[in-house]
């Protein structure tokens, strides 16, 4: 129970709102009217998808026990990533299987396009323009090269990663993004006293603590990597339950929030003119 709740359920429930590609989409919404519509539609969509995923995943065990005498994992050949595809293929008509796979691919494509856009922007603007201090056509070319590199890395990972990696990778991705970004996103929206230095402290501390816990505390990643075993003589630095199964987000997110608050109070608050510009129009109920 603790492993499931503290990793996949908690990661998806909290980490999903801090994904960089979604934040980029939030910032490009045309008006308040679209945001208000999205609250209802998005909330209903998340409830249906998340509720359906957890229920179907659990009931797949019941189906396979009744039809094959095996658990869902056994029926999928020990590969957790194949449980739902095998279940859909066995329990549903062939046309539904095709429809399901097409819908799955379309959802994956929309997510990938947003992620590649964020990665390309990070290469072109956040890294290239910051280091070279040059804007314009060159940064656009660098962004395109960054997108190409990201696509190649994604393809390579698709071939080299082991089986049963989707659930673990999903929980780790959501956990790391939540630890690094969630605290500073909330501070940026609701706390005008928050400073740039505080945001950087929260981002760095959240990502760093997540990395440390992945290498030394979280058994599913620390054990295969072997770094903790080589340096400390044991697979994880804390062996008593439940710590080896605690997701990095549970440790890193509170530390990132504390770091953001402490560094904010230790640094100079933003100028009023800057805040007025940042929050111009915020709170207005009129859609444009």
Dmax (CA) for the chain in angstroms is 68
210 part of a folded domain? yes
Summarised one tens digit per residue, pLDDT across range 177-221 is 888 999 999 998 888 899 999 999 999 999 999 999 988 988 888
DSSP state of 283: T
Distance of CA 246 to the CA centre of its chain: 17
More confident residue, 225 or 11: 225
110 part of a folded domain? no
Q: How many independent structural domains does the chain possess?
A: 1
Report the distance separating Cα 108 and Cα 177, nearest Å: 18
Neighbours of 175 (CB within 10 A): 31
5 part of a folded domain? no
Average pLDDT, the chain: 82
Report the distance separating Cα 198 and Cα 128, nearest Å: 24
Query: In this structure, are residues 85 and 103 in contact, taking their beta carbons and an 8 Å threshold?
Result: no
43 part of a folded domain? no
- The pLDDT of 68-76, averaged and rounded, is 88
31 part of a folded domain? no
218 part of a folded domain? yes
Dihedral pair phi/psi, residue 221, rounded to 5°: -110, -35
Comparing C-alpha atoms, which of 250, 261, 178 is closest to residue 213? 250
pLDDT at 261: 95
Summarised one tens digit per residue, pLDDT across range 15-28 is 778 887 777 777 77
pLDDT band at 135 (very low <50, low <70, confident <90, very high): low
Report the distance separating Cα 37 and Cα 146, nearest Å: 34
74 part of a folded domain? no
157 part of a folded domain? no
Dihedral pair phi/psi, residue 108, rounded to 5°: -65, -40
Structural domain of 243: 165-281
pLDDT at 287: 44
């Amino acid at each position: 129970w603790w492993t499931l709740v503290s990793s996949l359920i908690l990661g998806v429930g909290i980490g999903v709102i801090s994904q960089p590609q979604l934040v980029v989409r939030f910032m490009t919404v045309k008006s308040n009217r679209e945001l208000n519509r999205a609250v209802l539609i998005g909330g209903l969509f998340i409830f249906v998808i998340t509720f359906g995923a957890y229920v179907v995943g659990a009931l797949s065990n019941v189906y396979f026990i009744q039809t094959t005498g095996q658990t869902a994992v056994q029926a999928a050949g020990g590969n957790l990533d194949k449980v739902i595809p095998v279940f859909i293929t066995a329990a549903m008509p062939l046309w539904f299987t095709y429809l399901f796979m097409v819908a799955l691919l379309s959802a994956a494509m929309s997510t990938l396009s947003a992620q590649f856009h964020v990665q390309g922007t990070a290469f072109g603007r956040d890294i290239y323009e910051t280091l070279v201090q040059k804007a314009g056509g060159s940064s656009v070319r660098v962004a395109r090269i960054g997108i190409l590199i990201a696509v190649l890395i994604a393809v390579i990972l698709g071939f080299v990663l082991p089986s049963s990696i989707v659930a673990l990778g999903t929980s780790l991705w959501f956990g790391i993004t939540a630890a690094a970004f969630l605290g500073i996103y909330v501070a940026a929206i609701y706390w005008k006293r928050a400073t740039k230095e505080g945001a950087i402290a929260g981002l760095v501390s959240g990502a760093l603590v997540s990395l440390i816990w992945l290498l030394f505390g979280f058994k599913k990643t620390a054990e295969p990597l072997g770094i903790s075993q080589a340096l400390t003589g044991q697979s994880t630095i804390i062996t008593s339950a439940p710590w080896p199964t605690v997701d990095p987000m549970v440790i890193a997110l509170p530390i990132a929030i504390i770091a953001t608050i402490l560094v904010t109070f230790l640094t100079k608050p933003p100028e009023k003119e800057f805040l007025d510009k940042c929050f111009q129009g915020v709170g207005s109920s009129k859609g444009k």
